[in-house]
Amino acid sequence: MNIYDIVFYLFAAITLASAFVVVTARNIIYSAFSLLFTFFGIAGLYVLLGADFIAVVQLMVYVGGILVLILFGVMLTNKITSVQIKTGTLQVIPAILGTALMAGVLIKIFTGTNWHSQMAQYPTKTTAYALGHILLTDYVLIFELLGILLLIALIGAATIARKEEKAS
Amino acid sequence: MELLIQAGIALAKILIVITVMLLTVSYLVYFERKISAWIQNRRGPNRVGWYGALQPFADVFKLLLKEDIVPSNANKFIHSLAPFITLFVSFATYAVIPFGPDIKLFGRTIQLALADVNIGVLYVLALTSLGVYGLTFAGWSSGSKYSLLGGIRSSAQMISYEVSMGFSIAGVILLSESLRPMAIVESQYGFMWNALIQPIGFITIVVSAFAETNRLPFDLPEAEPELVGGYHTEYSSMKFAGFFLAEYANMIIASAMIVTLYLGGWQFPYIDKFGLSMGLTAGIQVLSFLLKMALVLFFFIWVRWSIPRFRYDQLMNLGWKVMFPLSLLNLIWVAALIMIFNI
Amino acid sequence: MNLIPIEYYLILSAFMFAVGVTGVLIRKNAIVVFMCIELMLNSGNLALVAFSSYMGSSAGQIFVFFVMTVAAAEAAVGLAIIIAIFRNKLTVNIDEINIFKW
In this prediction, residues B186-210 reach a mean pLDDT of: 86
pLDDT value, residue A79:
56
Among residues B151, B260, B274, B279, which one has the least CA distance to residue B214? B151
List of residues 6+ apart from B162 with CB closer than 8 A: A64, B125, B128, B129, B208, B212
In this prediction, residues B61-81 reach a mean pLDDT of: 82
Residue A103 covered by a domain: no
pLDDT value, residue A14:
92
For B318, which DSSP code?
I
CA quadruple A44, A45, A48, A54: dihedral, nearest 10: -80
In this prediction, residues A28-55 reach a mean pLDDT of: 87
- Who wins on pLDDT, B236 or A98? A98
- Taking only the tens place, the pLDDT of each residue in B38-67 is 888 888 888 887 887 888 888 888 888 888
Ramachandran category for residue B18: left, alpha or beta (phi over 0 → left; psi -120 to 50 → alpha): alpha
User: Residue type at A155?
Assistant: I
What is the value of ipTM here, to two decimals? 0.88
Question: How far is B282 from B286, CA to CA, in rounded Å?
Answer: 6
- Range of weakest confidence among A163-167, B68-72, B282-286: A163-167
- Dihedral sign, Cα of residue C39, residue C40, residue C41, residue C47: positive
- Who wins on pLDDT, B38 or A113? B38
Residue A116 has pLDDT above 80, yes or no: no
pLDDT confidence band for B326 (50 / 70 / 90): very high
CB B38 within 8 Å of CB B109: no
Residue A108 covered by a domain: no
In this prediction, residues B269-274 reach a mean pLDDT of: 77
Which structural domain range is residue A88 located in? 3-97+121-161
In this prediction, residues A78-107 reach a mean pLDDT of: 74
CB B201 within 8 Å of CB B165: no
C86 at A interface, C-beta within 8 A: yes
pLDDT value, residue C14:
92
In this prediction, residues A25-35 reach a mean pLDDT of: 84
Question: How far is B158 from A151, CA to CA, in rounded Å?
Answer: 21
Inspect the interface and report whether the beta carbons of C21 and A35 lie closer than 8 Å.
no
Residues in chain A within 8 Å Cβ distance of C73: 149-150, 152-153
Touching subunits for chain C (3+ Cβ pairs under 8 A) = A
List of residues 6+ apart from C35 with CB closer than 8 A: A22, A31, A32, A35, A70, C23
* Interface residue ranges in chain A relative to chain B, Cβ cutoff 8 Å: 29, 33, 36, 52-53, 56-57, 59-60, 63-65, 68, 71-72, 75, 80-81, 125-126, 128
CATH code at position A34:
1.20.120.1200
A9/chain B closest Cα distance in angstroms = 24
Residue A47 covered by a domain: yes
Could you tell me how far CA B71 lies from the centroid of its own chain?
Answer: 31
Inspect the interface and report whether the beta carbons of A64 and B126 lie closer than 8 Å.
yes
Inspect the interface and report whether the beta carbons of A99 and C25 lie closer than 8 Å.
yes
pTM: 0.85
With vertex at residue C32, the alpha carbon angle to CA C31 and CA C38, rounded to the nearest 5 degrees, is: 95
C54 at A interface, C-beta within 8 A: yes
Residue A116 covered by a domain: no
Inspect the interface and report whether the beta carbons of A75 and B140 lie closer than 8 Å.
yes
CB B151 within 8 Å of CB B132: no
B167 at A interface, C-beta within 8 A: no
CB B137 within 8 Å of CB B81: yes
Query: In terms of C-beta density within 10 A (0-12 exposed, 13-18 middle, 19 or more buried), how is residue A35 classed?
Result: buried
3-state secondary structure of B270: coil
Question: How far is B325 from B171, CA to CA, in rounded Å?
Answer: 13
Residue of B119, B133, B148 with shortest CB distance to A56: B119
- Report the chain C residue with the minimal C-alpha distance to residue A153: C73
3-state secondary structure of B44: coil
Q: Which long-range contacts (CB under 8 A, 24 or more apart) does A94-99 make?
A: A95/C22, A95/C25, A95/C26, A96/C22, A96/C26, A98/C21, A98/C25, A99/C18, A99/C19, A99/C21, A99/C22, A99/C25
Tell me which range, A109-118, B110-119, C21-30, is most confidently predicted by mean pLDDT. Answer: C21-30
Inspect the interface and report whether the beta carbons of C18 and A46 lie closer than 8 Å.
no
C27 at A interface, C-beta within 8 A: yes
C48/chain A closest Cα distance in angstroms = 10
- Taking only the tens place, the pLDDT of each residue in A60-82 is 888 888 888 888 888 777 654 44
B122 at A interface, C-beta within 8 A: yes
The domains found in chain C, sorted by start residue, are 6-89 (1.10.287.3510)
Q: What is the b/e burial string over B132-155, where b = at least 16 CB atoms within 10 angstroms of the residue's CB?
A: bbbbbbbbbbbbbebbbbbbbbbb
Inspect the interface and report whether the beta carbons of C76 and A28 lie closer than 8 Å.
no
C57 at A interface, C-beta within 8 A: no
- Report the chain C residue with the minimal C-alpha distance to residue A44: C46
Inspect the interface and report whether the beta carbons of C71 and A66 lie closer than 8 Å.
yes
- Taking only the tens place, the pLDDT of each residue in B171-197 is 888 888 888 888 888 888 877 888 888
B126/chain A closest Cα distance in angstroms = 5
The domain limits of chain B are: 1-65, 69-341
pLDDT value, residue A83:
47
Inspect the interface and report whether the beta carbons of C84 and A161 lie closer than 8 Å.
yes
For B323, which DSSP code?
I
Residue A123 has pLDDT above 60, yes or no: no
Inspect the interface and report whether the beta carbons of C49 and A46 lie closer than 8 Å.
yes
pLDDT value, residue A84:
53
Domain total in chain A: 1
